[in-house]
Amino acid sequence: MHVLAAALLAGALAGPAAASPVLVQTKPGAAPILRAAGARPVASRLAIWRTTSPALVGRLRRAGLLRAAEPERSLARADDASPFSDPLIDREWWLTAIGVRDLVPPVPGRPVTIIDSGVDVAHEEFAGRPDVTVLNSQSTFARDEDHGTEVSSVVGAPANGVGVVGIYPQAVLRLWDASPFRSITNSDAIAGLQAATAAGPSVINLSWGSPQRDPLLEQAVEAAVRGGSVLVAAAGNERQGGNPVIYPAALPHVLTVGASDQSNALASFSSSSPGLDLIAPGVAIPVADPRVSPTSYSLADGTSFSAPIVAGAAAWIWTARPDLDAGQLFELIRRSARDLGPPGWDADTGFGLLDVPAALAAPAPIRDPQEPNDDVAEVKPGVTFSTGGLLLTAPGRLAGRLDGFDDPRDVYRLRVPAHRRLRVTATASDGRPVAVSIWNAGTTSVLGTSRNRVSAGPKTAAVAGGRTGFSGYVALTVPAGRRTDYVLTVTATAAP
């Protein structure tokens, strides 16, 4: 690269009419000479200038002020060629199904964290691949530990002339091995969620689950949401096996992903769920296998492979639309899905099939920045989080969003000053009432009880501060199956 650039530069400077622009990087003290010669600053912090004068380059070099020089040149637009060209590409039917076969994924951007069984980082798809961070050591010592390598290849196998390509071939990958002893455990998954959260916001892929709820794992999920990450989880493959609800996929604020097949219909095994958000290809997905497997690549079935397609797509869209926050990205991916089955959301296909071009183009949803705030524990300081949720104490307005399954309640702290009365009113964008209730500070939950509730109404509630002030909570609620944006208005009156 450096040699080539130098050769080009020599050629550019050799001709008699060598007026081709040149980029120079200079040492301190060169600025007056550059300015006097009409050079234009390109990047002042890097001391890079642009000049069309070969004589100036010579002068700088002789004065010992030249650090580097190279010709200005056109860079190949990244959309000149599809990266989707590795040998197994023709088996990767799913690239067409979600509309990316003719798109060019972005350069490295928002990371994808894969909490799974560990990745064979010496596999030809990962050895030497840039932008792979191992958050802990990766082990794939047993045949049944092929899962993490397979899932990771679906996200980010590079366009390197071998094997497969992932949905986002240049994705920044962060890897956590949650199965140091062969099976993925809740303790290693919790540790992985904490490590992922500590590393900063990312899209976190969870291609595993259990029908059992796990309160400690749920707290780790809440903390990851609070940390600004988007969580994506596999809905499960148990449709013929009793169809149990699978966690963490079915938790609020987790994108729950089912599987579609080659005809863009629901895969026969894909679990339905009241929390299902969308489906993505999950049948006959070409994947990379760790070296302990008999082959380097295989075809895999399962929602385990649908989730990383959505996770990689989410990171791609987030990279392309960096102004979105995690909650907006979450909502955008659901809303832009291509509706399947009965019109609107359904428990088999959610909002429909992942549609990357639609998600890249759709208008940004409103922000809903206080999540997770679904109950008192998440907003009272020192319970789930050391810092509390948003405190309402004066007249004003704020916007938010509710979803009967993925965001069933928005709880805010409320402080009413002495001798004032605050009224809280919710106005929903769908025109229907949003239940508003006010609870005193003694309540530990706004679920399943009316004890400690001091005011409630279909749209509005109010409380007076009395002589010493009132501290408590406001809760906004919608039932399952309903989704709406809202504006919450706080008004104040004197209350002697």
Shortest distance in whole angstroms from residue 324 CB to Ca ion: 16
Nearer CB in complex with Ca ion: 86/150? 86
Shortest distance in whole angstroms from residue 189 CB to Ca ion: 23
Rounded Cα distance between 217 and 219, Å, is 5
Shortest distance in whole angstroms from residue 406 CB to Ca ion: 9
Nearer CB in complex with Ca ion: 196/476? 476
- Catalytic residue, candidates 117, 146, 147, 207: 147
Contact 309, 233 (CB under 8 A): no
Residues 361-380: x where in contact with Ca ion by CB under 5 A, - otherwise, as a string:
-------x----xx------
Nearer CB in complex with Ca ion: 129/239? 129
Q: Could you tell me how many residues make up the chain?
A: 496
Q: Does the active-site annotation cover 2?
A: no
Task: Please report whether residue 150 would count as binding Ca ion according to CB under 5 A.
Answer: no
In the set 160, 194, 427, 429, which binds Ca ion (CB under 5 A)?
A: 160
Query: 404 to 423, contacts with Ca ion by CB under 5 A?
Result: 407, 410
Nearer CB in complex with Ca ion: 352/400? 400
Q: Does the active-site annotation cover 147?
A: yes
The secondary structure of 320-331 as a DSSP string is H-TT--HHHHHH
Contact window for Ca ion (CB under 5 A) among 115-123, 150-158, 183-191, 378-386: 150-158
Nearer CB in complex with Ca ion: 125/348? 125
Number of residues that bind Ca ion (CB under 5 A): 11
Contact 488, 398 (CB under 8 A): yes
Shortest distance in whole angstroms from residue 486 CB to Ca ion: 9
Contact 306, 277 (CB under 8 A): no
- What's the distance, CA 445 to chain centroid? 29
In the set 54, 400, 465, 472, which binds Ca ion (CB under 5 A)?
A: 400
Half-sphere exposure of 441 (CA within 13 A, CB side): 9
The secondary structure of 402-434 as a DSSP string is EETTTB-EEEEEEEEPTTEEEEEEEEETTSS--
Query: 62 to 121, contacts with Ca ion by CB under 5 A?
Result: 86
Contact 296, 86 (CB under 8 A): no
Instruction: Classify 215 as helix, strand or coil.
Output: helix
In the set 99, 118, 156, 163, which binds Ca ion (CB under 5 A)?
A: 163
Cis before 322? omega within 30: no
Contact window for Ca ion (CB under 5 A) among 71-79, 157-165, 265-273, 311-319: 157-165
Nearer CB in complex with Ca ion: 54/248? 248
- Catalytic residue, candidates 179, 272, 293, 304: 304
Nearer CB in complex with Ca ion: 208/351? 351
Rounded Cα distance between 424 and 133, Å, is 47
Shortest distance in whole angstroms from residue 70 CB to Ca ion: 31
User: Which secondary-structure segment (H or E) carries 224?
Assistant: helix 215-226
The secondary structure of 239-302 as a DSSP string is TTTT----BTTTSTTEEEEEEE-TTSSB-TTPPP-TT--EEEE-SSEEEE--TTSSSSEEEE-S
In the set 47, 132, 157, 435, which binds Ca ion (CB under 5 A)?
A: 157
Query: Which two tokens mark 54?
Result: 């070969």
Task: Kindly list the residues in this chain that would bind Ca ion in the complex (CB under 5 A).
Answer: 86, 157, 160, 163, 368, 373-374, 400-401, 407, 410
Q: Which residues are catalytic, by number?
A: 116, 147, 304
